[in-house]
Amino acid sequence: MKRIYLIRGAMVDSPPLFNSEHDYTTYDVYSNTSYFARALPPVPRDCPTPLGVVGPKELPDANLIVQTLMKRTQFKPETMGSNALFTFFAQHFTHQFFKTDFRRGPGFQWGGHGVDVSHVYGKDKHVENLLRSFTDGKLKMQTMNGETWPMLVKDVDIQMTYPPNVPEEIRFALGHKDFGLLPGLFMYATIWMREHNRVCDVLKVEHPEWDDERLFQTAKLVILGETIKIVVEDYVQHLSNYNFKLTFKPELLFGEAHQYSNRITAEFNHMYHWHPLMPEEFNISGTTYGVKDFLFRPDIVIKHGMRNFVDGMVHQRAGAFTHHNHNQYTLHVAKETIEHGRTLRYQSFNQYRKRFSLPPYKTFEDLTGDEEVALQLSELYGGDIEAVEFYVGIVVEKTRPKAMFGSTVIELGGPFSVKGLLSAPICSRQYWRPSTFGGEVGFDIVKTATLEKLFCQNLGESDCPTIAFKVPS
């Protein structure tokens, strides 16, 4: 495990070397955190083609690319048996650090460059204070249908991105402004808030003398630790499908060459646009919802109850990450991602393969593993494999045997994930000890956290359904 941490982590430049403003290293790359970093510098502006010296003068129409290669015709299920609990975990977890500042442009971001649980507690102190009850360290929640839920925007004035037609009674105030978008995101937001309050109860028993502030701050560190533990041992374990048990052991890096500092790259963000993982429909206790019925309807979780909603997600097969599997509500995102890659002057897909020690593809057949897709791709890019763009290559690449993704997603995602997870401050020798987490009891909650416990300890008194990232056989 130590070798995985070290070898993967060392693939990432830390401190970062590039951002999207210059094609050479600057001090600003280090100091200006409003930018995403870059794994590869942008193509210089005076190059003969958009990709440098390879590819056409003019790249194919992005809309034509998504219509030809990405639009879902028939739903393709994910072959490892992944479910919607997994899909929403991916989206929920990564949105804490993939935060493009679209107002300023695709090279800019408004996040904290890492695993900082800002999706639970808010982007800044102001939002965090609005979410807090200031009693016993807890977050403010309300009871509806006998369960606890986040507060509404009308009671807690947090800036959210609900469209105008969403009624006041379902405008929930959440740590991330976009989490009202889908019930699956609302589910995770609620579960983590319940877990925070549960941890506060445990800590208060241990430390009856602690004030609200100390209980809150310590519970937040426990939640951060639990998040990383679950991401490594449940989430990455599932997604990698490795025949090797992944473990979260920060002490393996003590004394090693490892920086407790992280920067999110624009390429990591683009690579994580896993929209094909979204299924076409969701079945919850006998009711079927299409993706459209889900949009901005957090109340669906409350209506069915957390237990039944979670059970529905567990039994709902995820979509496969592959060509022709974007649903119609996410196709525009794919198109915009391709266009952003052009604005940011990304180097070619094959250049990124080389950056991460992978051999460049020589033929379209080898890249796609599918004759028809190879032909479509080749036609779009004038038969030039070197012209294939980063995000397009990511989506159409053949998956590795017994894996959910192609080699490029795995070999880029692995290093960025390992580096991001193990560079959280709690992983340092100074933080990684019982007192940081309120004593052995809190440290133990972190060290034994699982996805199953996260749900089962927060579903109320009802029996706990099977909790997993794949559909139970």
Rule CB under 6 A: which residues touch ligand MNH? 87, 90-91, 94, 98-100, 182, 269, 272-275, 277-278, 291, 329-330, 333, 336
Q: Give yes or no for a contact between 342 and 59, defined as CB atoms under 8 angstroms apart.
A: yes
How many Cβ atoms are within 10 Å of 257's Cβ, its own excluded? 9
**Closer by beta carbon to ligand MNH, 132 or else 345:** 345
**Closer by beta carbon to ligand MNH, 90 or else 451:** 90
Min dist. Cβ of residue 336 to ligand MNH (A): 4
By CB atoms closer than 10 A (0-12, 13-18, 19+), residue 42 is: buried
Q: Is 188 a catalytic residue?
A: no
Please confirm whether the linkage preceding 15 is cis (ω < 30° from 0): yes
* Measured distance CA(18)–CA(11) in Å, rounded: 14
Q: First vs last Cα of the chain: how many Å apart?
A: 30
**Closer by beta carbon to ligand MNH, 6 or else 468:** 468
Min dist. Cβ of residue 318 to ligand MNH (A): 9
Q: Give yes or no for a contact between 335 and 63, defined as CB atoms under 8 angstroms apart.
A: yes
Q: Give yes or no for a contact between 307 and 462, defined as CB atoms under 8 angstroms apart.
A: yes
Min dist. Cβ of residue 2 to ligand MNH (A): 29
Q: Give yes or no for a contact between 437 and 218, defined as CB atoms under 8 angstroms apart.
A: yes
**Closer by beta carbon to ligand MNH, 188 or else 437:** 188
Instruction: Give the helix, strand, coil percentages of the chain, each rounded to 5.
Output: 45, 10, 45
* Measured distance CA(325)–CA(101) in Å, rounded: 27
Question: DSSP E strands: which ranges in 20-136?
Answer: 37-38
Instruction: Report the candidate in 132, 126, 134 with the shortest Cα–Cα distance to residue 150.
Output: 132
Min dist. Cβ of residue 89 to ligand MNH (A): 8
**Closer by beta carbon to ligand MNH, 191 or else 278:** 278
**Closer by beta carbon to ligand MNH, 190 or else 378:** 190
**Closer by beta carbon to ligand MNH, 36 or else 361:** 36
Min dist. Cβ of residue 397 to ligand MNH (A): 17
* Measured distance CA(175)–CA(159) in Å, rounded: 10
* Residues across the chain: 473
* Measured distance CA(393)–CA(398) in Å, rounded: 9
Residue with tokens 């460049």: 360
Q: Is 326 a catalytic residue?
A: no
Distance of CA 274 to the CA centre of its chain: 9
**Which of 92, 95, 176, 273 does the annotation list as catalytic?**
95
Min dist. Cβ of residue 426 to ligand MNH (A): 24
Min dist. Cβ of residue 270 to ligand MNH (A): 8
**Which of 121, 260, 272, 381 does the annotation list as catalytic?**
272
* Measured distance CA(471)–CA(83) in Å, rounded: 6
- Neighbouring-strand partners of residue 108: 35
For 13, list phi and psi in degrees, rounded to 5: -70, 125
What are the residue numbers of the active site?
A: 95, 272
